[in-house]
């Protein structure tokens, strides 16, 4: 069986908070074009916004770096990858912070990761200290269509 190649859109932005609102609009638009409900499109907005803000605040701290967003569009799901080349983190410590109640978290650490996990179907982190971070977030369409691209609109479709 041949694997389905996703449509891919890649965007690179400076890691500045003023660009996060633009990323949110793009994310919402892509999710809606692909047939996700407004609520599910907003889930993507929340998750991608949190991942970008984490890159800016924790990855780059006071420095300015780039954030690469890759939107991978499959017939049955949308996968969004957010990557930075910031200072990275040890995912083991992030999981420990995610398990804590809000009042127990130092400097609200792990709250964004918890929120991302709550609104996405699948979340993967790849990060090592001083090597950047990659966050892969996936949400499946409700109809889980896998036999072609009959619903929704392709990113390159002019309609």
Please give the average per-residue pLDDT across 20-45, as a whole number.
Answer: 97
Distance CA 129, CA 70 (A): 22
CATH 3.30.565.10 is right for the domain spanning 7-140: yes
Task: Spell out the residues 6+ positions from residue 116 whose beta carbon is closer than 8 angstroms to its own.
Answer: 46, 47, 50, 51, 123, 135, 137
Is residue 26 helix, strand or coil?
helix
Give 136's DSSP letter: E
pLDDT per position as a tens digit, 77-129: 999 999 999 998 877 766 665 565 554 545 555 678 889 999 999 999 898 88
Helix (H) or strand (E) holding 102: none
Which among 1-10, 47-56, 59-68, 122-131 has the top mean pLDDT? 47-56
Helix (H) or strand (E) holding 124: strand 122-127
Distance CA 152, CA 130 (A): 40
109 burial level (CB within 10 Å; 0-12, 13-18, 19+): middle
Distance CA 72, CA 56 (A): 22
What average pLDDT does the chain have? 83
87's tokens: 């200072």
Residue 148, pLDDT > 50, answer no
Question: For the chain, which residues make up each domain, given as ranges?
Answer: 7-140
* Residue 66 pLDDT level (bands cut at 50, 70, 90): very high
54's tokens: 């984490």
Residue 22, pLDDT > 60, answer yes
């Amino acid at each position: 069986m041949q694997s389905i190649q996703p449509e891919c859109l890649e965007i690179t932005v400076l890691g500045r908070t003023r660009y996060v609102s633009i990323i949110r609009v793009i994310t919402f638009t892509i999710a809606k074009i692909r047939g996700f409900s407004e609520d599910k499109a907003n889930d993507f907005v929340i998750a991608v916004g949190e991942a970008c803000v984490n890159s800016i605040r924790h990855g780059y701290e006071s420095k300015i770096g780039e954030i690469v967003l890759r939107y991978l569009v499959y017939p049955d799901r949308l996968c969004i990858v957010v990557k930075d080349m910031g200072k990275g983190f040890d995912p083991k410590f992030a999981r420990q912070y995610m398990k804590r109640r809000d009042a127990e978290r130092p400097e609200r650490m792990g709250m964004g990761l918890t929120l991302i996990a709550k609104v996405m179907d699948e979340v993967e982190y790849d990060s090592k200290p001083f090597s950047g971070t990659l966050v892969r977030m996936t949400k499946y369409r409700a109809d889980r269509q896998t036999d072609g691209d009959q619903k929704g609109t392709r990113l390159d479709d002019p309609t």
